[in-house]
Amino acid sequence: MSPTDLNSLLLPLDDLSPEEAFDMGRKVYAKMFSIKGIRGSVQTWHGEEVVFFADRYDHAFKTSPDRARRAYSKTEVSFARIERMPWIREILEGRVPDTECRQVPNDSGQWQPPKYLVLAWEYSYIIWLNGLRDGSWKFSSAYPTTTEDMRRYTKRSSTVWKREKENAP
C-alpha cells in the first residue's frame, strides 16, 4: 500500500453555500466515523481508539470570524476544515508519512487529563484529541494551520508516536 496523497481526498465544496457545505459535511462526518446515535470510533494505526461524538461536529467544523477578539465564538462555517475531513481518518490510520502525535498540556497548563496533538507536517494540518477515562481518545477538532503555529503548539510536549517517511506503509 502506498502513502495517501491527502490533496486527492479533498471534499468538493466549490458550488455550495456555507449552509449546504455544513449539512453535507455533517452527513460525511457521520458516515466516515461510523456514528450510530451519539458516537462512533476509529482505530489508530498503533491500536488506540479515537471516539467521534455527533455533537462535536459543530465545534470542529466551524471557526470564529474574529479569532483575535473571540477565539471561542464558533459561528462561521469553515470550508477549509470540512473539505479536509477525510484527512483525519487517513492520518489516524497511519497512511500518511511524516506525522506524529504529541502529548501537550491541557488548557489549564496541566498534563491530566491528557490532551494530544496529531501533526501532519507536510500538509500543515493538525488534529486535536482529548484523553478519556477509559484510555481512549476523543476527537476535538482538526484544521490547517501554519508551521509556525505547529511548532508553538508543540513547545512543551512529549512524543507519543511518530510515523516517519520510511516507516509509513
pLDDT digits (tens, 9 = 90+) for 48-96: 899 999 999 999 999 876 555 555 567 799 999 999 999 999 999 999 9
The mean predicted confidence, pLDDT, of the chain is 88
Strand partners of residue 158: 103
**Residues 20-52: b if buried by 16+ CB within 10 A, e if exposed:** ebbeebbeebeebbebeeeebbbebbeebebbb
pLDDT value at position 1? 43
84: closest CA among 25, 35, 138?
25
Region 33-45 average pLDDT? 90
pLDDT value at position 133? 87
Answer yes or no: is pLDDT of 4 > 70.
yes
The model carries a pTM of: 0.89
CB distance 53 to 92 below 8 Å: no
Give 98-150 pLDDT, tens digit per residue. Answer: 999 999 987 776 667 789 999 999 999 999 999 998 989 999 999 999 999 99
How is the chain split into domains, by residue range?
11-167
pLDDT value at position 70? 52
For a pLDDT cut of 90, what percent of the chain falls above it?
Answer: 64
Chain centroid offset of residue 31 CA: 16
